[in-house]
Chain A
Amino acid sequence: MSKFTRLGNELYTGKRSIDFVGRKWTWYAISGVIIVAAILGLSIRGLNMGMDFTGGSQYTVTVSGTVDQGVADKVRTAVGGAGVEAAADPTVTTSGQHNLIVRTKSMSTSENRTVVAAITKATGAAADDISQDHVGASWGKEVATKAIEGLIIFLIAVSIFIAAYTRQWKMSAAALVALAHDVLITVGVYALSGFEVTPATVTGFLTILGFSLYDTVVVFDKIKENTKNLRGSKRSFAQASNLAVNQTLVRSINTSTVALIPVAAILWVSAVQLGTSTLKDLALALFVGMAAGTYSSIFIATPLFVQLKSREPEVVDSEKRAQRARQVDPYAFVPAATDSEAPLSETGALENPEELRDDADEAPGGGVRRAPVAPQDRRPARPVREGGTAGRPQPSRQPRSKRGK
């Protein structure tokens, strides 16, 4: 654990850093491959829509004795195990004292016979005691249309919110791309696994939507903070953003661990104990989506945002500034983790706090940074920032020639 916390400090100071922004094409490629697989799965296998969306068949069984939950469970297992795909996950409920209601997806006549046989065998009812009906979808067009409408309005509103909060519409764009990435991957996993899409799944998707945006906003908030005073920093925009991601990395790991542990527990228990179940479907959607959500905030949203910004004059300036600073002072910025034993890094922190204070924000990693500097390079290397004097007039000292009489 102490290694992990030590890593936390090093990530914070920038002493150790993973190049999330620089190696963007690697991440894009990884995500690209997964998304292509997801789309292929979606187009080849399609989604397995549950009977709440498609409607299906209903069997009303009249049993001679009284029915209880045990009988319902028995019938559920029997119908589910009958080997008919459409009836793999039937809904069985008791209704009143003597009736059982079995609902499955629509199926062919021969499959129908199999299911009826399974029911009669499990309940002992004669085939005449079973009446059959078609049931419509409980998740009709209306509900779906309204949900999609709400979703679109939400996405527009959230884009406006992020743009207003961060003052950068490009962050909204990057966040939406990350969101699409997460949703595509989750849908793809659904298509590939063949799990049934139920209203619970939809709920899961919406949770993912929320989580993905939530996580992205947390990371972007740090980027916003780190790039606020870019003019006064030796870092380029990309470097500052990368540092922000590194600084929130520990938080991201902790949050996703904490969020995924319960989901993983549900997934494991439901898969091992229950077989097919609502719970398993929901947990799978959540697990994949939340993992993708954390991943995309770091690996997709941030590099994409930096890339979107890379042509803006301010960002180009910062890039130049950072390059100059690097030429002048090769140790001002120590990018790679391999360099952790950089000379004099021990001298940094606390032995010389006075000196450090000026530069704490720009380069807290310590190291030699006052190499001889050519006059023309002094300007960018010595930035002027608002002081910590809270606006009080400060005493000034001017040359005698300038002082008034």
Chain B
Amino acid sequence: MASKKARPGRTLIIFFVVLAIAYGLVALGGSWKPELGLDLQGGTRIQMIAKGHPSSDAMSEARDIIDQRVNGSGVTAAKVTTQGGNQIVVEIPGDSRQDLVDEVSQTAQLRFRLVACQDTCATSSSSATTGGGTASAPATGGSTGIAGQRAALGFDHKVPAAKKHKKAAKGGKAASAATPTATATATDAPTAAASPTTSGEPDQSGDISVDDALDFINNPPADQVAAFNAFTCPTDGANNVEDVPGKPLITCDDQGRKFLLSPAIIEGTQISDASSGIPQGGVQYEVNVSFHSSGRSAFADATGAISTTNQLMAIVLDGQVISALTASSRINGGATITGDFTQEDAQALANNLKFGALPVAFDKENGISSATVGPSLAGNQLSAGLWAGGVGLLLVMLYCLIYYRGLGLVVVGSLIIAGASTYAMVLLLSKSADFTLDLPGIAGLIVAVGITADSFIVYFERIRDEMREGKSMRVAVESGWLRARSTCLAADAVSILAALILYIFAAGDVRGFAFALGLSTIIDLVVFFYFTHPTIQRLSHYKFFNRGHRLSGLDAEALGVDRITVGGRA
């Protein structure tokens, strides 16, 4: 075998260094106890009452979306239920998760609307005659209220297409907001050229057609303009406007700029996916959005129409403008929103786009309450589970020691190392991903012991088989390794496949399970490759093992043969 010279000692040292680093990170995190799940520790219970009388379908859809939102990664083990027809109850493990109350209830209904006026609004008669020079202002920057907060909106295939106004841009130009402008009202010839692509039909969700919306923003009714001019943004940021999809909306963004918006053209439910990230070769965060078919056509029509006029399209969440975009060409596929995002901003926008489409609204004033809840399982269950697990482990170790004698020590050592690695990972994930350990999770970890131990058993049986064929221990350790390795890789590949697929496709508890399965399988492989094997290699140099001492587990009697081959003297 023409392989590299084995250096078991070095592998072992590297392995322990990595493990020590993991524990160093845990020490930095500062908590030595994993977060426990709802059933063992209790948590926070958030109760939300929906406005009006939503249908049960809408409620269960809302439940699923909130479930996604609080438990998207599947490791938090939050529990979301509908209750009494118009309430949704969210239970989240952990001492006090009041911070999540906002996240769960805040983002509710997301819509796309076209912007008729921003900050100030000319009367309908004058708005129609705004010249092209004003319309191009957003592109030149600096002269409008949204200058300096540009974001470009492009195609899937990265054609930079437009400018976007982003909420909460750092260093937002408070001064520039005062600059009066009629940005969104240009109606010269190119608009007409772009408009024919719009279909006149209302889309599935009953929103108005893009044509009607364009009519509205180009010629806003006088009463709306008057109302808009009379409107002042509340100073405390609280926004109590009523967001009705079929009607125009006057509202603000969180920078205190006010908008007159057309009736909704696309509902949040039309968004199929949204994600954020840095594109390959890029330097800035961007948000990718894709739509379902009807949303896509409406979005294409709208961007086609506003692209030539530099008008704006607003993303409205719960009646508040979270983002306003312009487009410079028709966007037929998914959209990419670029701009000076921080990672948090991009992530928040993507989450809002993806999960913000709740079909029900909640009464924010007095419909949301939260309380701390206690554990749902009696305290004795945890102690009983741990006790049973401890006894079980002890028996396993005893069995291995009796059956494998000296080699049994390696099994025991490997199990302890695997346990230590798992515990470190659980602690790290508690900190970084809100991983919580509930009772089934603990049982799962105990069960994983058996599956982990199987790798060692396969390997040891292989070594014994090789020695039965007359090989010395040192040779058998290597040839047995090759065979045991392929067996274990194949079998563990099945587990990893299961973990991966279930994690991608399933939701809720099943995702949590898949996560735990994947974690324990990978730890099993790592320990097997970088601890068990080098340890055995190392041990095969000791006479205690390779001469077949009676207690080594590799003596003639243990193998069931009459005499074993001793290294070098076959």
A residues engaging B (CB < 8 A)? Answer: 1-2, 4-10, 12-13, 55, 58, 67-69, 72-73, 76, 91-96, 99, 101, 133-143, 146-147, 149-151, 153-154, 157-158, 161-162, 165, 199-200, 202-204, 206-207, 209-211, 213-215, 217-218, 221-222, 225, 247-248, 250-251, 254-255, 257-266, 268-270, 273-274, 277-279, 282-283, 286, 290, 349-350, 353, 360, 364
Interface of B is mostly: helix
Contacts of B563 in A (CB 8 A): 350
Interface of A is mostly: helix
Residue with the greatest number of chain A CB neighbours at <10 A, chosen from B39, B85, B381, B562: B381
Q: Are A349 and B498 in contact (CB under 8 A)?
A: no
Contacts of B377 in A (CB 8 A): 277-278
Q: Are A134 and B84 in contact (CB under 8 A)?
A: yes
User: In the assembled complex, how far is the CB of residue B254 from the closest CB belonging to chain A, in whole angstroms?
Assistant: 32
Closest 9 CB pairs of A and B: A259-B450, A9-B560, A262-B392, A150-B505, A94-B374, A136-B82, A265-B392, A269-B388, A96-B371
Contacts of A162 in B (CB 8 A): 494
Q: Are B494 and A254 in contact (CB under 8 A)?
A: no
Once the chains are docked, how many angstroms separate the CA of A91 from the CA of B509?
A: 18
Once the chains are docked, how many angstroms separate the CA of A259 from the CA of B381?
A: 21
Q: Pick the residue among A6, A154, A263, A268 that contacts B498 (CB under 8 A).
A: A154
Contacts of A248 in B (CB 8 A): 461
Once the chains are docked, how many angstroms separate the CA of A4 from the CA of B404?
A: 12
Known contacts A157-B501, A204-B440, A349-B561, then 17 further A-B pairs from the complex at CB < 8 Å, ordered by chain A residue: A2-B558, A6-B557, A55-B81, A134-B83, A134-B85, A135-B83, A143-B509, A150-B505, A161-B497, A206-B498, A218-B491, A254-B457, A258-B457, A259-B447, A262-B389, A262-B392, A262-B396
Q: Are B395 and A147 in contact (CB under 8 A)?
A: no
- 6 pairs of residues in contact across A and B, judged by CB atoms under 8 Å: A94-B372, A135-B81, A151-B502, A274-B378, A279-B439, A360-B469
Q: Pick the residue among B63, B375, B391, B557 that contacts A136 (CB under 8 A).
A: B63
User: In the assembled complex, how far is the CB of residue A379 from the closest CB belonging to chain B, in whole angstroms?
Assistant: 27
Once the chains are docked, how many angstroms separate the CA of A149 from the CA of B506?
A: 7
User: In the assembled complex, how far is the CB of residue A117 from the closest CB belonging to chain B, in whole angstroms?
Assistant: 22
Q: Are A154 and B502 in contact (CB under 8 A)?
A: yes
A12-B446 CB under 8 A given contacts A157-B497, A207-B517, A254-B403: no
Contacts of B201 in A (CB 8 A): none
Q: Pick the residue among B82, B387, B395, B483 that contacts A225 (CB under 8 A).
A: B483
User: In the assembled complex, how far is the CB of residue B143 from the closest CB belonging to chain A, in whole angstroms?
Assistant: 49
B525 at the interface (CB under 8 A from A): no
Once the chains are docked, how many angstroms separate the CA of A143 from the CA of B377?
A: 23
A210-B450 CB under 8 A given contacts A6-B560, A134-B83, A360-B469: no
User: In the assembled complex, how far is the CB of residue B455 from the closest CB belonging to chain A, in whole angstroms?
Assistant: 10
B526 at the interface (CB under 8 A from A): no
A349-B562 CB under 8 A given contacts A136-B60, A269-B391: yes
Q: Pick the residue among A4, A55, A72, A269 that contacts B384 (CB under 8 A).
A: A269
Contacts of A5 in B (CB 8 A): 557-560
Contacts of A99 in B (CB 8 A): 371
Closest to B516 in A: A203
A58-B83 CB under 8 A given contacts A211-B451, A262-B396: yes
Closest to A263 in B: B447
For B389-416 the 0/1 string (1 means CB < 8 A from A) is 1011101100110110000000000000
Q: Are B451 and A214 in contact (CB under 8 A)?
A: yes
Chain B contacts with A in 461-497, Cβ cutoff 8 A:
461, 464-465, 468-470, 483, 486-487, 490-495, 497
Once the chains are docked, how many angstroms separate the CA of A158 from the CA of B373?
A: 42
B449 at the interface (CB under 8 A from A): yes
User: In the assembled complex, how far is the CB of residue A70 from the closest CB belonging to chain B, in whole angstroms?
Assistant: 9
Once the chains are docked, how many angstroms separate the CA of A274 from the CA of B380?
A: 8
A146-B469 CB under 8 A given contacts A8-B560, A265-B391, A283-B443: no
Closest to B379 in A: A69
B80 at the interface (CB under 8 A from A): yes
B64 at the interface (CB under 8 A from A): yes
Q: Are B505 and A95 in contact (CB under 8 A)?
A: no
B458 at the interface (CB under 8 A from A): yes
B215 at the interface (CB under 8 A from A): no
B residues engaging A (CB < 8 A)? Answer: 39, 42, 45, 59-60, 63-64, 67, 79-85, 87, 89, 371-381, 384-385, 387-389, 391-393, 395-396, 399-400, 402-403, 439-440, 443-444, 446-447, 449-451, 453-454, 457-458, 461, 464-465, 468-470, 483, 486-487, 490-495, 497-498, 501-502, 504-510, 513-514, 517, 557-563, 570
Q: Are A286 and B447 in contact (CB under 8 A)?
A: yes
Residue with the greatest number of chain B CB neighbours at <10 A, chosen from A137, A214, A263, A349: A214
Q: Pick the residue among A58, A158, A222, A269 that contacts B387 (CB under 8 A).
A: A269
Q: Are B501 and A153 in contact (CB under 8 A)?
A: yes
Q: Are A259 and B561 in contact (CB under 8 A)?
A: no
Contacts of A353 in B (CB 8 A): 470, 570
Q: Are B449 and A262 in contact (CB under 8 A)?
A: yes
Q: Are A266 and B443 in contact (CB under 8 A)?
A: yes
Q: Are B374 and A93 in contact (CB under 8 A)?
A: yes
Closest to B85 in A: A134
Contacts of A157 in B (CB 8 A): 497, 501
Contacts of B374 in A (CB 8 A): 67-69, 72, 93-95
A161-B81 CB under 8 A given contacts A94-B42, A150-B501, A269-B391: no
User: In the assembled complex, how far is the CB of residue A179 from the closest CB belonging to chain B, in whole angstroms?
Assistant: 11
A273-B396 CB under 8 A given contacts A251-B461, A262-B450: no
Residue with the greatest number of chain B CB neighbours at <10 A, chosen from A4, A72, A157: A72
Q: Pick the residue among A2, A154, A255, A258 that contacts B501 (CB under 8 A).
A: A154
Closest to B459 in A: A251
User: In the assembled complex, how far is the CB of residue B418 from the closest CB belonging to chain A, in whole angstroms?
Assistant: 13
Q: Are B494 and A161 in contact (CB under 8 A)?
A: yes
A221-B490 CB under 8 A given contacts A92-B376, A142-B64, A279-B443: yes
Closest to A134 in B: B84
A251-B457 CB under 8 A given contacts A138-B79, A207-B444: yes
User: In the assembled complex, how far is the CB of residue B5 from the closest CB belonging to chain A, in whole angstroms?
Assistant: 19
Contacts of B59 in A (CB 8 A): 136
Contacts of A260 in B (CB 8 A): 450
Once the chains are docked, how many angstroms separate the CA of A165 from the CA of B468?
A: 28
Once the chains are docked, how many angstroms separate the CA of A96 from the CA of B454?
A: 46
Closest to B560 in A: A9
User: In the assembled complex, how far is the CB of residue B509 from the closest CB belonging to chain A, in whole angstroms?
Assistant: 4
Q: Pick the residue among B45, B495, B562 that contacts A210 (CB under 8 A).
A: B495
A153-B82 CB under 8 A given contacts A140-B64, A158-B497: no
Once the chains are docked, how many angstroms separate the CA of A91 from the CA of B81?
A: 14
Residue with the greatest number of chain A CB neighbours at <10 A, chosen from B64, B373, B491, B495: B491
Contacts of B392 in A (CB 8 A): 261-266
Contacts of A93 in B (CB 8 A): 42, 373-376
Q: Are B509 and A139 in contact (CB under 8 A)?
A: yes
Q: Are B502 and A213 in contact (CB under 8 A)?
A: no
Contacts of B498 in A (CB 8 A): 154, 158, 206, 209-210, 213
